[in-house]
Chains A and B, each alone.
Chain A
């Protein structure tokens, strides 16, 4: 298996790494960089637990290779908070019951962050549509939708 050097911006830091050509981006993050907040849930791009932001857009990291991340800017769940200060979505998920077991939570946070970057005042239908690439088995989605709505309102000062 050939190996490649890649360089990327990850959670605000420039990193370089050597990766096998066939290594999934999700495995690179989890196994090589120990960023285990990105979860493996289905490895077929359905459940969204491995969602990350690539150049600001939500993407399922089990569907791309690590080498494809070369030159990109990536944000994982570990990159959402600023030091001790939670991202507004993280705080809203806590307060509104947007999580229970927590396994799908990183993916939902990332998908929601992508939504709020494009649409600062989504209605419930838009929130549900934006989150339809992620599966949660615990919450019935209500707490998640409530959390995203509250985070948007918070950001808008309403």
Chain B
């Protein structure tokens, strides 16, 4: 796991590793990846992936409106808002 990879995945996850921890965490990640690499050796031909232990199907909901506005409560819990919106720094598209 090289520096470039660490940088890419850190950016994708929007995380920054402090300089003091970068080396240690990189080493940890390397060890963990080596550890799980054991999976590469197993024969999984004809084995269907199991995404969820419940091999059941999803229930479907009726299409009727039951939820009410909780705007005030939601905005109150937010780090920055006005009376109508959540606010973030300016986004340039």
A and B bind = no
